[in-house]
């Protein structure tokens, strides 16, 4: 994990974490959120920890076994928290959500309920970016 402030006028804190391709990754993501943002109010901290855990769990479930490397980036700005999880997977269409009776897709439902905004970017890798207002 590297902590820095690349944009001091915008980011109060910034962290990038390379995630291990195993079941320890969600706990590591939550611990990183707690370590970096532990001074935030408990409800905000709980929301961003839940989002981190869900997105990292999705990487473990859906990422290619040949390139499981993923990163989580967390940025704290005066007005928002931005969390990005990037992996080598093909991604998904966020405009085609799982049906209510699907057995999967719960992570996206949680993300949709908890994050103020989220979107997907693809450029050879897939990034899910979400923002929570502070």
Sheet of 13-19: strand order equals 2-4, 13-19, 70-76, 80-87, 126-133, 117-122
pLDDT of residue 7: 39
The model's pLDDT over 20-70, given as tens digits with 9 standing for 90+, comes to 888 899 999 999 999 999 899 999 999 999 999 999 998 888 775 555 578
| pLDDT classification of 9: cutoffs 50, 70, 90 | very low
Predicted model pTM = 0.82
Q: Which of 60, 114, 14 is nearest to 130 (CA)?
A: 114
What gap in Å lies between CA 71 and CA 51, rounded to an integer? Answer: 14
pLDDT of residue 68: 58
pLDDT of residue 129: 95
The tokens describing 38, both together, are 């532990």
pLDDT of residue 20: 87
- pLDDT above 60 (res 8): no
Q: Is 17 helix (H, G, I), strand (E, B) or coil?
A: strand
Instruction: Please name the fold of domain 2-133.
Output: Heat Shock Protein 90 (3.30.565)
What gap in Å lies between CA 97 and CA 105, rounded to an integer? Answer: 8
Q: Is 9 helix (H, G, I), strand (E, B) or coil?
A: coil
The model's pLDDT over 96-129, given as tens digits with 9 standing for 90+, comes to 666 677 766 677 788 889 999 999 998 888 899 9
What gap in Å lies between CA 81 and CA 53, rounded to an integer? Answer: 15
No. of helices (H) and no. of strands (E), the chain: 3, 6
Determine which helix (DSSP H) or strand (DSSP E) holds 123, and give its type and residue range. Answer: none
Each domain of the chain, given as residue ranges in start order, spans 2-133
């Amino acid at each position: 994990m590297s902590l820095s402030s690349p944009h001091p006028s915008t980011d109060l804190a910034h962290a990038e974490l390379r995630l291990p391709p195993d079941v320890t990754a969600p706990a590591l993501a939550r611990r990183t959120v707690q370590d970096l943002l532990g001074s935030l109010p408990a409800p905000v901290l709980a929301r961003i920890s839940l989002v981190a855990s869900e997105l990292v769990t999705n990487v473990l479930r859906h990422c290619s076994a040949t390139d499981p490397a993923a990163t989580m980036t967390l940025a704290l700005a005066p007005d928002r928290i931005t969390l990005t999880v990037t992996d080598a997977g093909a991604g998904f269409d966020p405009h085609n959500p799982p049906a209510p009776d699907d057995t999967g897709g719960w992570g996206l439902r949680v993300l949709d309920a908890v994050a103020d905004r989220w979107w997907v970017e693809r450029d050879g890798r897939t990034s899910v970016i979400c923002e929570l207002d502070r």
